[in-house]
A and B are shown apart, each in its own frame.
Chain A
Amino acid sequence: MSAPTEIRVRVAEAEAVTPAIKRLKLVPLTSTPLPDFSGGAHTVVHYTDGPRHVRNPYSLMGSPFDPSAYQISVLRVPDSRGGSALIHDGVHEGTEITITSPINLFPIDRRARRHILIAGGIGITPFMAMTAQLDREGADFQLHYAMRDRASGAYWKLLKSIYGHRVHTYFDDTNETLALTRLLDGQPLGTHLYVCGPAGMIDWVLKTAREAGWPEENVHFERFAAPPPGKPFQVALARSKRTIDVAPRESVLEAIEAAGIEPQFLCRGGACGQCETAVLEADGTLHHNDHYLSDDEKASGKKMMICVSRFEGARLVLDL
């Protein structure tokens, strides 16, 4: 009951868009259609291959108006725990995987007079669905898409061919940079800004917008955050009366799931608040890695987001 709805799907197409980015088209196994979604939504992909295991969130990049299939694009992250690598190596046309019903933590604000979308690298994926939606709705939008170079950028040619001058590209290798301060200057009141990309880029956009006098309600972002590694620790679960080891490259949520307990989650990236867990005892330091709790809440030490946050110390007891 506590877990989001799971859906079994089959990979109908698997395409290497670039050497590091793989696009998957997912279709349902039964005649039940896939749930509707809106631009900016993501799904959590769950796949096990022997000892290898992945349970990561990925943005839905297909058109929200195509109910027959979902599409995701996965960047192979080197030196990682290997979830993305498993999708690259182990998932092919015909593979059956489990996904969760979509959830949108990065929706379009329909009241906006204009939408400015800023993507960096793989951060383009939610905007693929958003542009399809905005275009269909006749909204005023423009996309600014920064990439390392022409070869590693996944979708700039496709996007330019569909949306023409509404798509602006920037390539690091030829020193093209987005003149953000100038872009933000003079935009009509009621313009909304959306950013998805590397952490440094998101921070830069948020800071620049704030200093240009943009209210925070007009600035939207999504961080592709993953649970950061750390030192191993133990966690005691008060309700299930069990003690669980959390490995250096494992989150509390993943360790608990591996023990057969299914806490609630939606984003697995410290953004949605769904996995909030009460801390009953903490003799040591909580490392809050989420973007959900307020600073006061973090300082109180009374709760933690178990999908990304860690602990260092003698004893941690959670209300689970």
Chain B
Amino acid sequence: MTAAMISRPVYPGLSPDQYAKTHLILCEGEGAAAVLDMAAKAPKEFFSRALILFCPAGTGYEPKLAALSPKSLWVLPTIATAMFRLRGVLATATMGTRVYAAGTEPFIGSVLQETLAVGIDHKSVFTEHRGSAKRRVQCVHCKGCTDDVTASPFTCTHCGLTLFVRDHYSRRLGAFQGVCVDAEVPGEVPPVEELYR
């Protein structure tokens, strides 16, 4: 695994940017706990300049996030709806806005995709990985993306091929690569391993 790890993204963890005029914070599920941890390190007035977009993903962090008294707190049911709202916020956001993202890898990847599209370098986004190790995987054959992949190989939800999850990550797509395992002898598939729980 080690050689291919090179293209694995790194998530250094959230820390408050002392100079930012607006803090645009995106969190999903257990990612909310990373925001609460950051709150312990942040100056008092930090959250008065914070906009929080939260996908609960079955967790109950909403009251705790609300208790931080952010300027706005939006609770959104899915990553897709959160990204739609993020796009709206980014369209009118100005420089001096710091973006933070915390949650699972597919969530962070989606945020980085949206921010990259408006010219924000991935290194400028403060990220922290929390929660499940599930991955978003793109099938190299049909180009369809499958979210919430926890095992390898898995079945592509778009074309039905059996895909092996490679440790090769595309920042542009916010996804890992999935390659057909039984291309040589159809049906000859190695045992499924639960890897990304």
Point out residues on A near B: beta carbons under 8 Å.
109, 111-113, 184-192, 210-218
Contacts and interface: CB of A to CB of B under 8 A. Distances in A.
Contacts of A185: 94, 96
Given A188-B93, A213-B97, A218 B19 contact: no
B116 interface: yes
A113 B118 contact: yes
Interface string B86-106: 000010011111100000000
A191 to B, nearest CB: 5
Given A213-B95, A215-B98, A218-B95, A189 B123 contact: no
A222 B125 CA distance: 24
Contacts of A217: 120-121, 123-124
Nearest to A209: B95
Q: What does DSSP make chain B's interface, helix, strand, loop or mixed? A: loop
B19 A213 contact: yes
23 contacts: A109-B121, A111-B116, A111-B119, A185-B94, A186-B95, A187-B94, A187-B95, A188-B94, A188-B95, A189-B118, A190-B119, A210-B19, A212-B19, A212-B96, A213-B20, A213-B98, A214-B95, A215-B98, A215-B120, A217-B124, A218-B119, A218-B120, A218-B124
A60 to B, nearest CB: 25
B21 interface: yes
Interface string B117-141: 0111101100000000000000000
Contact of A213 (B17, B116, B119): B17
Interface of B: 17, 19-21, 90, 93-98, 116, 118-121, 123-124
Contacts of A187: 94-95
Contacts of A210: 19
Contacts of A215: 98, 120-121, 123-124
Given A111-B116, A211-B19, A213-B20, A189 B121 contact: no
B98 to A, nearest CB: 7
A112 B115 CA distance: 11
Contacts of A216: 124
A113 B20 CA distance: 19
A211 B93 CA distance: 18
A214 B96 contact: yes
